[in-house]
Amino acid sequence: MTDSLDALITLLDLDQIEENIFRGYSPEEHRMRVFGGQVAGQALVAAGRTVSKGNVHSLHAYFLRPGDPRIPIVYLVDRIRDGKSFTTRRVIALQRGEAIFNLSASFHIQEPGIDHQSEMPDVPDPLSLPTFKEKMAPYAKRMGEWYSRPRPLDQRYITEPNMFKTQEKREPYQRVWVRADGTLPDDPLLHACVIAYASDMTLLDSVMLPHKVSWDQPGVMVASLDHAMWFHRQFRADEWFLYDQESPTASGSRGLARGQIFSSDGRLVVSVVQEGLVRIINQEIQDF
């Protein structure tokens, strides 16, 4: 296991203050706000720690306020229902007495039943693609510490990443191979939380691609608003998974993005939907 992956596991290993109350921390990074995938992953850990049977099959979450990475986050778990097949939890994340995030998650015991799925796209093998550092090498100086920092996830872009402003409009989709950079413990909840963490990293890029808008562009504000995931089949986050992402619509400073996550053997394991804020503050940007 790499040091960065070990740090991610530590990040997801919450302190239990008392029954149904947990505390999480943010890494020492130069961020203006807490990364959305972090708070979603930690909230799912808090929910799962109160569940005695079944694995998570869905979550629905809202990002309410920007989280402050300098102070801890307190997670309050409400045990909504414990049924024979399904268990439901609600989690509120708090800082300074205010809710910054809430999540509802449902857990389901494994049952036999019907089975079908969409086909996995035909894409290059991940090991045939450049690593993140190789792909971003032309932008290393511009990225600064963000380029050289260790990463817990190995990402291999199939399409061009939307890291910097481009002069060309592109179709609203992208594809990325991802896996944890090391071997994870055999804990299904941890693998689900790592996938939740990864699912927020690139999804909104597809919203910006048709408009020549990027994360680093002055006068553009981008933030996650809500996030939903459905876990269809068992998987391992330390094995390659394809994140196939597309945006069907954007309007009124909001964009919708959808993602399908396939295991390397072609199984559709997770579906993701997210709406994000893409606010144009600088009125000189006319293309959006």
**Gap between the Cα atoms of 191 and 172, Å rounded:** 28
| Per-residue pLDDT tens digits for 135-178 | 888 888 877 777 888 889 999 999 888 765 555 778 999 999 99
Question: All domains of the chain, ordered by start, with CATH?
Answer: 3-109+131-280 (2.40.160.210)
Is a pLDDT exceeding 50 seen at residue 288?
A: no
Q: Is 167 a catalytic residue?
A: no
Selecting among 26, 199, 224, 260, the annotated active-site residue is: 224
Selecting among 154, 181, 200, 244, the annotated active-site residue is: 200
Selecting among 95, 104, 155, 274, the annotated active-site residue is: 274
pTM confidence score: 0.92
Q: Is 4 a catalytic residue?
A: no
Is a pLDDT exceeding 50 seen at residue 286?
A: no
Cβ atoms 165, 212 nearer than 8 A: yes
- Give me the count of residues in the chain: 288
DSSP 8-state assignment for residue 252: T
Q: Is 217 a catalytic residue?
A: no
**Gap between the Cα atoms of 131 and 272, Å rounded:** 24
| Per-residue pLDDT tens digits for 187-196 | 999 999 999 9
Structure tokens at 82: 């414990």
Q: For residue 116, how many other CB atoms are within 10 A of its CB?
A: 5
Q: Rounded mean pLDDT of 216-226?
A: 85
DSSP 8-state assignment for residue 49: T
